[in-house]
Structure 1
Amino acid sequence: MMVSKPVEFRGSALEDLRAFPEAARGEAGYQLDQIQRGREPDDWKPMNAVGRGVREIRIRDAAGAFRVLYVAKFDDAVYVLHCFQKKTQKTSKTDMNLTAQRYRDLLKELGR
């Protein structure tokens, strides 16, 4: 049996996730649970522009499009870097930069 990895939220990611509408929040929780168990989320894409191994969970809901950016390549935990509602087709530079900064901070913290 696969041991479940803990999820660790970086910066304001947990508060941001809690601000999602209930259905989107529930879907994000389900997808993170899949990742914790070593499975792939249902709808994701790599975000290598942010950092190696960073992925984006894509959630579509009646209230709009929501994103959870995370990295799961480390053995100790699944790190959620950023959660936000997507307002346009393209992910904003602000969201990309914030995620990239949190990723760099995480690498420094892990000594990589």
Structure 2
Amino acid sequence: MEDLKRRKIALQMPPKPAPHIFDWLIEIGLTEAAGMGAVPISSRELAAWQSNTCVRLAPWEARLIRELSKAYLAEGRRAEDETCPPPWGAPVTAHDREIEEAQLRSLLG
């Protein structure tokens, strides 16, 4: 983030048409812990959250929250590859690649 600010690159974020859904997702937790790592939010966890907060999710909201949790995990796993581009940026162009390679050559000599 600091590098982007220093290079004066604006962070491009996708539109957020239903901010309450994202707020609930963050409140519930993006994922659940499981025996071998993180898993998507379960229906059981959603039901417990609804019971504890007295918020009643519409079926489509519950499905969307679970899908967002799945997408978050999938992107996290995809991002483990060092060549994975950031999800908020524009696709990497040949020109971008040339600039990065030139910077790397100048550092390595």
Q: Over alpha carbons, which structure has the higher Rg?
A: 2
Answer 1 or 2: which has greater helix percent.
Answer: 2
TM above 0.5: no
- For normalisation by structure 2, the TM-score amounts to 0.29
